[in-house]
Structure 1
Amino acid sequence: MSEIPADLKYIETHQWVRVSDDGTATVGITDFAQEQLGDVVYIGVPDLGATVNGGEEAGVAESVKSASDVFSPVTGEVIAVNEALEDEPERVNEDPYGEGWMFRVRMTDPGELDGLMDAAAYAEHIADHD
Structure 2
Amino acid sequence: MSQIPSELKYVSTHEWIRMEDDGTVTIGITDHAQELLGDVVYVEVPEVETSFASGEESGVVESVKAASDIYAPLSGEVVEVNEDLADSPELVNKDPYGAGWIFRLRLTDSDELQDLMDAEAYAELCEEEA
Matches of 2:18 and 2:88 in 1, distance apart?
22
Task: Indicate the residue corresponding to 2:113 in structure 1.
Answer: 113
TM-score, L = length of structure 2: 0.98
Alpha-carbon shift at residue 9 of structure 1 (Å) = 0.8
The residue that corresponds to 1:41 in the other structure is: 41
- The answer to whether residue 97 in structure 2 is matched with residue 75 in structure 1 is no
Distance apart, 1:68 and its partner CA:
0.3
Query: What's the CA shift for 1:53?
Result: 1.6
TM-score w.r.t. length of structure 1: 0.98
**Structure 1 counterpart of 2:105, which letter?**
V
Q: Give how far 1:115 is off.
A: 0.4
Give CA-to-partner distance per residue, 1:25-60, whole Å, 9 cap, x none. 000000000000000000011101000221111000
31-40 or 108-117, larger mean C-alpha shift: 108-117
SS at match of 2:129: coil
Stretches of 4+ moved more than 3 A in 1? none
CA distance in 2, matches of 1:5, 1:70: 20
Q: Indicate the residue corresponding to 1:94 in structure 2.
A: 94
Mind listing any 5+ residue stretches in structure 2 that lack a counterpart? none
Aligned residues: 130
Secondary structure in 2 matching 1:99: coil
